[in-house]
Chains A and B, each alone.
Chain A
Amino acid sequence: MPDDIRGVGASLLRREDERHLHGRGQFVSDVKLPGTMDVAFVRSPHAHARVKSISIPPEARGLVFTAADLPRVKPIRVTSHSTGAKSPPWPPLATDKVRYVGEAIAACIAPSRGEAEDLAAAVMVDFAVLEPVIDPPRDMRGSRHPVHEQWGDNLYIEHALEGGDVEAAARAADVTVTRQFRMQRQSGAPLECRGVLAYRDHRLDEVVVLASTQTPHTVRVALAEILDLEERRIRVIAPDVGGGFGPKARLYPEEIILTALALELDHPVRWIEDRNEHLLTTAHTRDHHYNVTAYADRQGRILGVDAEIIVDAGAYGLWPQGPYHEAGMVARALPGPYTIPNYRARHYTVATNKTPLGPYRGVGRPGACFAIERLIDEIARAVGREPNEVRALNLVRPEEMPFTTIGGLRLDNGNYPESVRLCAELLDTPAIRSRQRRGEPDGRVIGIGFATFAEQTAHGAAEFAARGASIIPGYESCTARVLTDGSVVLMVGIQSHGQGLETVLSQVAAEELGIDPARISVRHGDTESTAFGFGTFASRSMVMSGGAVARASRMLRDKLCRIGAHLLQCDVAEVRCADGVVSGPQGSVSIAEIAKVAYLRMDGLPAGVDPLLDATATYEPAISTGVFSYATHGAVVAVDPETGFVELLDYAVAEDCGTMVNPLLVEGQIRGGVVQGIGTALYEEIPYDETGQPLAGTLADYLLPGAVEMPAIKIGHLHTPTPHTEYGMKGMGEGGAVAPPAAIANAVRDALSAIGAPGGIEVNETPITPRRVMGAIRKARGA
């Protein structure tokens, strides 16, 4: 096996595919254990109410569990070290009060889910309904019935970030542009909903919890704390996970309750979330309000930005990071990869009677990118230039790297202006401009728009400590083991939610050990068989876990070389490990032969070398504030001015994520992210009515992007390896989802300029639905 085509840089086909192509994947709901009982939850139908009483029909006694029946369960409580952060307790089953529609009140068990739902329907809860908090700008300083009444207001946290002198920028500006932006609330909506299966293993005296989660190790930490159980007696397994995208990187009440039930009962219990529950109870995302002013000179150079950011964070803080990071991330990312000298951001994280907010691909960045990239285009219009000229004028240039933005993010390297040029080329911008001049035969108007962003990835200790986090995901781990026949097992603390880590991590070990990746197994997602790791989120898996695999593999390689040199009777400096053998000046010995000595024939070991081929390593990049991928996205749209319908005609991404370990999988991540970003831009929304009822409870109300509406997505690559990581790789899992709302909104703005309303027509709220487009057209026409 020539390792140059299977190691780092190879578009190796995935080892995960075989099982899924035959329907043999193993998701939580696929695991069958004898005697399992299904669980359905009684959930709150009210946004905000006091629970006066819960009555359980006599025939359901012993089958329905309320908080009072599970006294060992303590509330979820997030710790934050940020100044002024408020952290409410969250009982996994409601006690005196419910604070969002869907909050769990009781768990019902039965032989099938249908029968469990029958039980749940028979439980009667008497509520005293309270006025809900649903409007963050109005209610953040106080309301008639605050979400957490002991607070007085509805603010989890408020902070300000300031650099330079924004007042001076205002005085010096030739052009001032002020806009309100809104990114609506949505769901992460992986195709597999959440699920938990829990049972007692009496032989090992432990409880085993299978969960569809991105973070099995930290879920175990939380379960031990909340259930007051020693960690050694809990095993958490994430089997195949059918997409996570962020929302599954949090602890949920159901994981706690199912574990508690398994401890109480002498049979396995299973809860498989249905889509309605998913849309009601799994972390919601986005939901940002912006009021932003940009100051620029008459060339379009930005002198300063002044921003107010409000995040609607819902009723509780999801463990471990709570609601505190979203708005802060927005504030720091909003100045983008631009050389803006003066900046002020005031940000507010507001408690409301809605589903708790959590991370979703891109977290705060899609909103921040939407705000700054829309402003770039409006500044360009105000000074009479092409938006991409203004973009390039303000972007950090390669020779200025490393560059710390006014938002405090240290961009490590890259050629950002080149990504703008390449993206415009991929879409053949001159051809679009001449097509615009000709006009469309069907009466529609077309437009082109762009957006550029930097994506902080693989950030570790310094970054999370600065955010006030009490749990700091600063490393990943790998135990690498060569077995007696020379085959290899990697046991990694990371977890894969479908992105292909089993394949790419085997490539890293193949690179270091010179072994065919087909002879390498990757185990992940099981607290029993792997060293501790934080899981997959924050575009960290490849850099952090790949780095740990590289280090552990090199430790093994060194040992293989020492034993090999001894067997070859030469100096260790004379041998190399490649193509499945250790070779020296006079011959070679296979890794399998060396492994036999290490395990079974220790009389062949050199003096001072212990048996076994087993190494554990952790890894954090040399810089823990993150390494930055970046991209420019471009969209071409057609807008129907009679209906407001937006069709995507073309889409392109010009990106740089440093060294690509597997280019095939990198492009898969980009395209998948872009389509999720298109969902944010055009379709996905969970509106709430004035009583706090969510209005999207099925996939008929909550629209996900389908194959019909999506264009083929063009990709161009730039390659700037970072000096701070193994192989120069950067994280890139989330970037695809960051820029589509901004690029598409800019394209819609460009298209609608053909309608000729004075001042133009803008849609500054996502999703850009036909209703919103028509609203903007009518408003601009004064109708």
Chain B
Amino acid sequence: MTAVHVTINGKAVADDVPPRLSLADFLRERRNLTGTHLGCEHGVCGACTVLVDGELARSCLMLAAACDERSVETIEGFAEDAVMDALRRSFHQHHALQCGFCTPAMLITARDLILRRRAGSEREIRDGLAGNICRCTGYTNIVTAIAAAAEEIARETSNA
């Protein structure tokens, strides 16, 4: 067992974990944060995407033990996050989800694209989603929803 101290969605958590436990299994099985989904467990589908120290990470490929003294954000977090709020509204408005399995990771990836100013065009958004597979929507509505949220955020920023 390895001791880890990790901040999850703003709360400090301490646990002893088996060395081979993935971050995804740690979040899902030990913290009951089941919004982080597992679609392939080998880093291709992107459904397990979370933020580790503010950067996108595949939680299926990362060990929980490697998150000691780090900060993790999952879909259950992002309270009062203006970009996430705009994305959630926009995904709903544009029918950008069907089964919902890819949705949490899509939202986290899209938020990252908007914050890094990589959601300025359809091409940019599509390239930015290269690591997230959706099997239901055909992507069109996801791309539209992200573009609309990015515009909304840009408007609010320029008005502020």
Contacts and interface: CB of A to CB of B under 8 A. Distances in A.
Interface of A: 13-14, 16-27, 29-30, 32, 112, 114, 189-193, 240-243, 245, 274-275, 497-500, 664-665, 667-668, 671-676, 698-700, 704, 706-708, 710, 712-713, 736
Given A13-B93, A23-B33, A192-B37, A707 B103 contact: no
Contact of A699 (B40, B74, B129): B40
B101 A17 contact: no
Residue of A498, A671, A706, A707 ringed by the most chain B CB atoms within 10 A: A707
B136 interface: yes
A240 B104 contact: no
Contact of A193 (B18, B35, B39): B39
Given A24-B35, A671-B141, A699-B44, A14 B92 contact: yes
Contacts of B35: 22-25
B132 interface: yes
A229 B141 CA distance: 46
B42 A20 contact: no
Given A23-B33, A706-B129, 16 more contacts: A23-B36, A23-B76, A27-B101, A32-B32, A189-B135, A191-B39, A191-B133, A240-B99, A498-B99, A668-B95, A668-B136, A672-B136, A699-B42, A699-B133, A710-B126, A736-B138
Given A20-B97, A23-B76, A676 B139 contact: no
Contact of B135 (A240, A704, A710, A736): A704
Given A23-B74, A699-B44, A706-B129, A241 B99 contact: yes
A712 B102 CA distance: 19
B101 A712 contact: no
B44 A21 contact: no
Contacts of B75: 22-23
B98 interface: yes
Interface size classification for chain B: 35 or more
A704 B137 CA distance: 13
Contacts, number: 166
B34 interface: yes
Contacts of B95: 13-14, 664-665, 667-668
B140 A712 contact: yes
B134 interface: yes
B100 A672 contact: no
B7 to A, nearest CB: 18
A141 to B, nearest CB: 38
29 contacts: A13-B93, A20-B103, A22-B75, A25-B100, A25-B101, A25-B103, A32-B32, A112-B29, A189-B135, A192-B39, A275-B40, A275-B45, A497-B99, A498-B136, A664-B95, A665-B95, A671-B137, A672-B98, A672-B136, A673-B138, A675-B138, A675-B139, A699-B44, A699-B45, A704-B133, A706-B139, A708-B126, A712-B122, A712-B143
Contacts of B74: 23
B41 interface: yes
Contacts of A668: 95, 98, 136-137, 141
A19 B76 CA distance: 11
A707 B129 contact: yes
Contacts of B142: 707
B88 interface: yes
Interface string B12-45: 0000001011000100110011111111111011
Contact of B107 (A21, A114, A699): A21
Given A674-B138, A704-B135, A708-B130, A275 B99 contact: no
Most buried by A among B28, B47, B93, B135: B135
Interface string B136-158: 11111111000000000000000
A23 B126 contact: no
Contacts of A706: 129-130, 133, 139
A497 to B, nearest CB: 7
B100 A16 contact: yes
B22 to A, nearest CB: 9
Given A191-B133, A674-B138, A114 B20 contact: yes
Chief secondary structure at chain A's binding surface: loop
Contacts of A25: 35, 100-101, 103
B126 A22 contact: no
A510 to B, nearest CB: 19
B127 interface: yes
A736 B135 CA distance: 13
Contacts of B93: 13
A193 B99 CA distance: 12
Interface in B50-88: 74-76, 88
Nearest to B22: A114
A714 to B, nearest CB: 10
Nearest to A701: B44
Which of A673, A704, A736 gathers the greatest number of chain B CB atoms within 10 Å?
Answer: A704
Contact of A274 (B28, B41, B92): B41
A242 to B, nearest CB: 3
Contacts of B44: 698-700
Nearest to B104: A23
A668 B98 CA distance: 8
Given A19-B100, A20-B103, A191-B102, A707 B39 contact: no
A582 B158 CA distance: 51
- Could you say which of B35, B39, B102 has the most chain A C-beta atoms within 10 Å of its C-beta? B39
Contacts of A674: 138
Contacts of A667: 95
A681 to B, nearest CB: 14
B104 A707 contact: no
B132 A275 contact: no
Nearest to A20: B100
